[in-house]
């Protein structure tokens, strides 16, 4: 997962570089600013005589290699940091496209930043796509808001189609920029064969949605976007992050989805992560997971009864009514998930997706089932 490992190293390189970690000695690397034209060696250990080496090199200490396994892809920066940007052991690898966003959701777990980073991430990901193993089962695309890349997102998706034709692609977007139908058409014409776009839908009532996104007209733009995507038969997953503003209308939201958005292939009701902007906005947005049990049950069962594929994400089983257990998925990314002391004696632990380890606060109602 992006950003999951940061270590320091000594190096003579002056450019950012990607390497596929190949073992305990040497591997091939690439400067991503000049893709695939050069290679260098990594040396491990402190007592190597660097004067005997004629190519560029990186010098790593043994302890730098904790948490790094063969097949991982690492990003080396001149400032002496290493980031693991592909984890060969994880099923939740994500291409990170930008820190910018055109919404500013009250419960955002990774708050966006205004920074001119699109070209940087674009060239990084262009190379990364080429280095990823061909047999990778799934790959996420996230941000920030990936559609802020505009045409560059289309280019990345085209590269994915040619480099990773078998990989399931999941793009997470707020859907606003899909209100431009020609953009949707361009994306559809790439013809990715296993492609789902996940789009948050915060409320059936426009003002509640816009309040949550902190962005006027976001409801209208997202809904136009959803219809445009449907028009081109793109697969849509709707995501309803349950919070204090929308929980009382979960049933109405489910009805709205069935009547107005019946073309979506999946609806996920999601628990909130107590991190990012949530602590700051907790008065407006935070609600304990057990407080919306009834509303959640009515909404999930309503959609399920209409044959719409529906799931509950990010909630440990002990916080959800038993009738909903069959809909609860282990959805928290492997590097984020956490179980607690109470969970040791829980008979359902093996089936439970746990809670966010990244949450700064957890429900007091977590208890063994």
Partner 1 sequence: MDYSLLPFRFERIEDSEIIVNEVGDFLICPTGTSKNIVERNIKEEDSIYKDLIANHIISIATIPALIDNLAARYRTKKAFLDSFTVLHIFVMTIRCNQNCIYCQASSRTSDQVNYDISIETLNYAIDLMFQSPSPHLTMEFQGGEPTIAFEKLKYAIEKTEEINIKKNKIITYVLCTNSVSFSDEILDLCLKYKILISTSLDGPEFIHNQNRGKSDSYQKVVQGINIARDKLGFDKISALMTTSNYSLDYPKEIIDSYIENNFSNIFIRALNPYGLAQNNDNWEKYNHSFIEFYKTALDYIIDINKRGIYFEESFTTLILKKILTPFSTGFVDLQSPAGLINSVIVYNYDGCVYASDESRMLAEHNDFTFRLGTVKDKYNDIFYGEKSLEIANTWANEALAGCSDCAYQTYCGADPVRNYTTQNNMNGFRPTSLFCKKNKAIIEHVFLLLITRNEEVMPVFKNWLNKN
Binding stretches for partner 1 (CB under 8 A): 204-206, 208, 217, 220, 223-224, 227, 231, 249, 252, 256, 258-260, 262, 305-307
The residue among 163 and 181 lying less far from partner 1, judged by its C-beta, is 181
User: Minimal distance in Å, beta carbon 305 to partner 1?
Assistant: 5
CB atoms within 10 A of CB 43: 16
User: Minimal distance in Å, beta carbon 204 to partner 1?
Assistant: 4
User: Minimal distance in Å, beta carbon 323 to partner 1?
Assistant: 14
The residue among 253 and 318 lying less far from partner 1, judged by its C-beta, is 253
The residue among 173 and 203 lying less far from partner 1, judged by its C-beta, is 203
| Burial status of residue 166 (CB atoms within 10 A of its CB: 0-12, 13-18, 19 or more) | exposed
Chain centroid offset of residue 291 CA = 27
The residue among 227 and 335 lying less far from partner 1, judged by its C-beta, is 227
Three-class HEC string of the chain: CCCCCEEECEECCCCCEEEECCCCCCCCEEECCCCCCCCCEEEECCCCCHHHCCCCEEEECHHHHCCCCCCCEEEECCCCEEEEEECCCCCCCEEECCCCCCCCCCCCCCCCCCCCCHHHHHHHHHHHHHHCCCCCCEEEEECCCHHHHCHHHHHHHHHHHHHCCCCEEEEECCCHHHHCHHHHHHHHHHCCCCEEEEEECCCCCHHHHHHHHCCCCHHHHHHHHHHHHHHCCCEEEEEEECCCCCHHHHHHHHHHHHHHCCCCCEEEEECCCCCCCCCCCHHHHCCCHHHHHHHHHHHHHHHHHCCCCEEEECCCHHHCCHHHHHHECCCCCCCCEECCHHHHHCCCHHHCCCEECCCCCCCCCCCCC
Tokens 């107005």 found at: 260
CB atoms within 10 A of CB 78: 12
User: Minimal distance in Å, beta carbon 108 to partner 1?
Assistant: 24
User: Minimal distance in Å, beta carbon 246 to partner 1?
Assistant: 11
User: Minimal distance in Å, beta carbon 293 to partner 1?
Assistant: 18
The residue among 254 and 311 lying less far from partner 1, judged by its C-beta, is 254
Strand partners, 75: 18, 83
The residue among 263 and 340 lying less far from partner 1, judged by its C-beta, is 263
The residue among 120 and 256 lying less far from partner 1, judged by its C-beta, is 256
The residue among 20 and 226 lying less far from partner 1, judged by its C-beta, is 226
The residue among 165 and 262 lying less far from partner 1, judged by its C-beta, is 262
Give the separation between CA 126 and CA 88, rounded to whole angstroms.
18
The residue among 64 and 210 lying less far from partner 1, judged by its C-beta, is 210
Strand partners, 172: 198
User: Minimal distance in Å, beta carbon 153 to partner 1?
Assistant: 24
User: Minimal distance in Å, beta carbon 60 to partner 1?
Assistant: 55
User: Minimal distance in Å, beta carbon 287 to partner 1?
Assistant: 18
User: Minimal distance in Å, beta carbon 271 to partner 1?
Assistant: 23
């Amino acid at each position: 997962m992006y950003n999951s490992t940061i270590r320091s190293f000594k190096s003579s390189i002056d450019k950012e570089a990607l390497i596929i970690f190949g073992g305990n000695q040497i591997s091939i690397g690439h400067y991503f600013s000049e893709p695939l034209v050069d290679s260098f060696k990594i040396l491990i250990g402190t007592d190597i005589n660097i004067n005997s080496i004629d190519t560029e090199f990186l010098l790593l200490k043994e302890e730098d290699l904790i948490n790094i396994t063969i097949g991982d892809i690492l990003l080396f920066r001149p400032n002496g940091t290493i980031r693991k940007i592909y984890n060969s052991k994880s099923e939740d690898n994500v291409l990170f496209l930008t820190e910018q966003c055109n919404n500013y959701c009250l419960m955002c777990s990774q708050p966006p930043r205004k920074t001119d980073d699109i070209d940087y991430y674009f060239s990084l990901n262009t190379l990364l796509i080429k280095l990823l193993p061909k047999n990778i089962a799934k790959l996420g695309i996230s941000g920030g808001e990936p559609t802020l890349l505009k045409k560059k997102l289309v280019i990345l998706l085209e590269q994915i189609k040619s480099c990773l034709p078998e990989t399931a692609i999941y793009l997470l977007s707020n859907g606003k920029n899909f209100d431009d139908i020609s953009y949707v058409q361009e994306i559809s014409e790439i013809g990715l064969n296993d492609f789902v776009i996940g789009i948050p839908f915060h409320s059936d009532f426009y003002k509640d949605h816009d309040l949550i996104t902190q962005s006027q007209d976001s409801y209208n733009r997202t809904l136009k976007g959803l219809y445009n995507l449907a028009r081109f038969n793109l697969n849509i997953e709707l995501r309803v992050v349950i919070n204090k503003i929308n929980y009382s209308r979960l049933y109405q939201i489910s009805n709205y989805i069935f009547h107005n958005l019946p073309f979506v292939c999946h609806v996920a009701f999601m628990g909130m992560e107590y991190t990012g902007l949530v602590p700051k906005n907790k008065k407006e947005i935070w609600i304990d997971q057990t407080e919306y049990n009834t509303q959640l049950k009515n909404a999930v069962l309503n959609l399920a009864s209409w044959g719409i594929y529906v799931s509950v994400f990010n909630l440990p089983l002990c916080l959800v009514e038993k009738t909903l257990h069959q809909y609860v998925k282990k959805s928290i990314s492997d590097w984020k998930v956490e179980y607690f002391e109470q969970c040791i004696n829980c008979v359902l632990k093996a089936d439970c997706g746990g809670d966010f380890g990244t949450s700064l606060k957890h429900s007091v109602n977590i208890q063994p089932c």
